Structure 1
Amino acid sequence: MRKFFLNLMTIICVMIICISGFKIYTTLRGYKKADNIYSQLRETKDNSHSSTDTTKNLSSINSDYKFWINVEGTNIDYPVVQGKDNDFYLNHDFNKNYLPAGSIFLDYRNDFKADLNTVIYGHHMRNSTMFGQMEKFKKEDFFEKNKKITLATEDNLYEYEIFAIGVYDADFGYNTVNFANEDNFNNFLNKILSKAMYSRNIVSSDDKIITLSTCSYEYDNARTAIFAVKK
């Protein structure tokens, strides 16, 4: 009987090792696939002669393409898409194929050029891709030295200066995009600043901002958000 249990435990251990190994393999394969896809898209952008050409070339691949985002001091250098909801691009790549890493995407509610708060989402990948390097801004020295975010559209290059970073509950409202009036927006700014980890006093209710959002691991349903004001 003892030998039977020893053999059974051995089989169980081998099965656990095999399952764990397969999960690691599929995760690494997913990372590699995502890296290849976005490397090709960066090459397409770099080979384009202008922002207009970039938009034309990338839109021919995916009509959901909106603009290109770059965050100073990080590897955040991606095309941004906008779907009909905030679910599809959580696990679909730029080519609209299933991929756990998903895409960097604009909140489906946003009108980028009109809204006071433009919200952009991305996964916090364990290999520090997508929005994984937002984590760097949780170090005060890095926050102080790296301030610039750019959004390159078909006809313009928009520059933003980071004014806050914080960890928020998913239902905190940091990703609100519509505001009834200026006072409402001002209250929103005060609310996010009151819970910010670090901040700069450079934003007012007269400004337009962008919010970068990703998962965080301090507690259940935590989100790291970076806020930047349009220059």
Structure 2
Amino acid sequence: MKKLIMQTKVLEKKSRYRIVRILVICLCLALIAGCGKTSSKKTTEEEGSDYVDVSELSRLNSDIFAWIRIPEAGIDYPVLQRGDGDDSFYQTHDYLGKEDPKGAIYIEAANLNDMCDFNEVLHGSSPSDGTMFAPLSKFLDQEFFDEHKYIYVYMKGNALIYYTFAAYLREDTRLLEQYDFSYASGCQQFLDEIYSRSMSKIVREGWENQVQPDNFIITLSTVDPSSGKQLVVVGCLVGDVAGKIDRYVDYGDPDDF
């Protein structure tokens, strides 16, 4: 079984990212500057700060490992992973572990909380008050999608930038069960789903078939209240301030085992 090691150095990476490279450099510099601030620690009570101190937040709840921000969509929340592996807990509890029907933004136990999986799937509800992941529905509007390109994820000692390249409705299935992302073949199967022709899908112009199994993606997932389908917004990693995001890409055949 052949394994290829791939390190993410996206600012020097493949030519298909040249169209966003200058913008990403500027954004990374801004993130580095933000991560260096010590007088503006963002907690859930300090709205308006431009710095997220994840270490401080994890003292409130050790399940907090990151913070996601999409400013234009009004998404600005901690990201959690339940320490005991109960993937249903944060469907009905807030970021402090208190009962709340809106839940929290979380990843499943099957995902790595260092964001080094091929596909990090973040789940959130879509309550009627427009909070949590309800604003993801805005990305189904072509004009909004075209104008809003970046997803920011802050972690302990790192900050990541993802470039949104797809948004669409799909059957409400568990992605981490439907596709085996531990193999390149499973990664490609999901990418094929994204790139398959459909009137309801939005794929950013010029990005068709450009993201490959050796990239890193983030999938923001919620249930669309109007259709009952799963609404996903997918982004590709284009900025890794600390250079920590890497993994082995297994091009072997999973049927061999």
Instruction: Give TM-score scaled by structure 2 length.
Output: 0.67
2:74 is the alignment partner of 1:78: no
Letter in 2 for 1:98: E
**Cα distance change on mapping 1:42 and 1:134 into 2, 3 Å:** farther
In angstroms, what is the RMSD of aligned CA positions? 2.4
Q: Aligned-pair distance for 1:46?
A: 3.6
Q: Which SS does the other structure have where 1:73 is aligned?
A: helix
Q: Which SS does the other structure have where 2:181 is aligned?
A: coil
Counterpart CA distance in 2 for 1:175 and 1:212 is 16
Whether the aligned pair in 1 keeps the contact of 2:119 and 2:181 (CA below 8 Å) is no
Whether the aligned pair in 2 keeps the contact of 1:168 and 1:174 (CA below 8 Å) is no
Q: Aligned-pair distance for 1:186?
A: 1.4
Instruction: Name which of 175, 182, 188 aligns with 1:186.
Output: 188
**Cα distance change on mapping 1:217 and 1:45 into 2, 3 Å:** closer
Whether the aligned pair in 1 keeps the contact of 2:126 and 2:225 (CA below 8 Å) is no
2:205 is the alignment partner of 1:197: no
Counterpart CA distance in 2 for 1:170 and 1:185 is 18
Counterpart CA distance in 2 for 1:175 and 1:123 is 20
- Say which structure, 1 or 2, has more relative contact order (CA 8 Å, 6+ apart): 2
Query: Which structure has greater helix proportion?
Result: 1
Instruction: Name which of 42, 46, 63 aligns with 1:43.
Output: 46
Q: Which SS does the other structure have where 1:228 is aligned?
A: strand
Instruction: Give TM-score scaled by structure 1 length.
Output: 0.74
Whether the aligned pair in 2 keeps the contact of 1:124 and 1:132 (CA below 8 Å) is yes
Query: 1:1-20 counterparts in 2 under 5 A?
Result: none
Letter in 2 for 1:204: Q
**Cα distance change on mapping 1:149 and 1:226 into 2, 3 Å:** same
Whether the aligned pair in 2 keeps the contact of 1:122 and 1:130 (CA below 8 Å) is yes
Instruction: Name which of 226, 231, 239 aligns with 1:224.
Output: 231
Counterpart CA distance in 1 for 2:97 and 2:48 is 19
- The unaligned stretches of length 5 or more in structure 1 are 1-38
Residue in 1 that maps onto 2:24: none
- The unaligned stretches of length 5 or more in structure 2 are 1-41, 239-257
CA deviations 1:16-35 (Å, max 9, x no partner) are xxxxxxxxxxxxxxxxxxxx
**Cα distance change on mapping 1:180 and 1:129 into 2, 3 Å:** closer
Whether the aligned pair in 2 keeps the contact of 1:42 and 1:78 (CA below 8 Å) is no
Letter in 1 for 2:142: E
Whether the aligned pair in 1 keeps the contact of 2:125 and 2:222 (CA below 8 Å) is yes
Counterpart CA distance in 2 for 1:177 and 1:115 is 13
Letter in 1 for 2:190: F
CA deviations 1:35-91 (Å, max 9, x no partner) are xxxx961518949xx65xx12221111000010101141110001111122200001
Whether the aligned pair in 1 keeps the contact of 2:91 and 2:101 (CA below 8 Å) is yes
Instruction: Name which of 223, 229, 254 aligns with 1:215.
Output: 223
Residue in 2 that maps onto 1:104: 105
Whether the aligned pair in 1 keeps the contact of 2:54 and 2:154 (CA below 8 Å) is no
When the two structures are aligned, how many residues end up with a matched partner? 188
Among the aligned pairs, what percent are the same residue? Answer: 29
Counterpart CA distance in 1 for 2:176 and 2:138 is 20
Instruction: Name which of 164, 167, 172 aligns with 1:165.
Output: 167
Counterpart CA distance in 1 for 2:194 and 2:127 is 24
Whether the aligned pair in 2 keeps the contact of 1:120 and 1:210 (CA below 8 Å) is yes
CA deviations 1:145-193 (Å, max 9, x no partner) are 0010010001111000001001011127377574242233112201133
Q: Aligned-pair distance for 1:95?
A: 1.3
Larger Rg: 1
